[in-house]
Amino acid sequence: MRRWLLLILLAVLVAGVYVRMPARFAAFALEDRLDPMALDDIHGTAWDGDSRHTWWGDWPVGHMRWQADSLSALGGTIRANLQFDMPKNQRMRMHVEQRLRILEVTALRADLVGDALRKVFLRAELLPIGTVHLDVERARFDDGIPVALRGRATWRQATLIGPRTRLPYYLGDLKIDFRVDRPGIVFGTIHDVGGAMQVAGNMSADAIGFRIELHFVPRDPQLAQGLTRLGRAQPDGSRLLILQDAWWWKRQHD
């Protein structure tokens, strides 16, 4: 009887330690599986905690909270809801699930400022402003390689500011739909949803970097003069802007 009582007490103790496991254990797991994420000023437990200062590379993503399923973790599957309260009233939330090499992200919703796209336009010396809403239904990664993706983004009041023009380039509202057709390569199409500027383009991204091609045609001919410094003139009268670069975090670690 005493042996059974001792075993029960030991089980209760182990369960209590497991449930109250420090948040630092979850932070190690998140940093390992969501590289280049870094967490600091960590509180709570491994199953219900937060990081007051969180970065994705050198991009501050603010205060992150997580709620994880402690029972599924016993079976080797990590399931967690993540929520980010970011600078400039930006927000993002998602559900992540990982087992062995497979990481799946679902229900990712984000409201960002246009400045979140700064790295994309950096080499073209253009500053993006406006607001960006991101909606990813499902993203699946096998050992870090994207193998499935369904998502879209809306860049509202898309505007570019250049160093050699006194007036901004107003592009209206843009829609971006992206997917994975081949493992490791993300494809996307870009188009406007009305307004003074007709915008059409495509994008591709892989482990090396990204390439975006954007064609601009003003619906009002009087606006054509204002585009003379945006991209290159094309025979059909449109302007072509090409944005391409290696991933900024890859460059930092090479």
| Cα 38 from Cα 36, distance rounded (Å) | 6
Q: 169 pLDDT exceeds 70? A: yes
90 has a pLDDT exceeding 90? yes
**pLDDT tens digits, one per residue of 95-137:** 999 888 899 999 999 999 998 898 899 888 899 999 999 999 9
The span from the CA of 206 to the CA of 247, in Å, is 9
Say yes or no to pLDDT of 199 above 90.
yes
The pair of structure tokens assigned to 90 is 């930006």
Q: Tokens 């491994």 — which residue?
A: 46
pLDDT of 74 higher than 60: yes
Query: What integer pLDDT is reported at residue 135 of this predicted model?
Result: 97
**CB contact set of 99 (below 8 Å; sequence gap of 6+):** 76, 77, 78
Q: Are 85 and 91 in contact (CB under 8 A)?
A: yes
pTM assigned to the model: 0.83
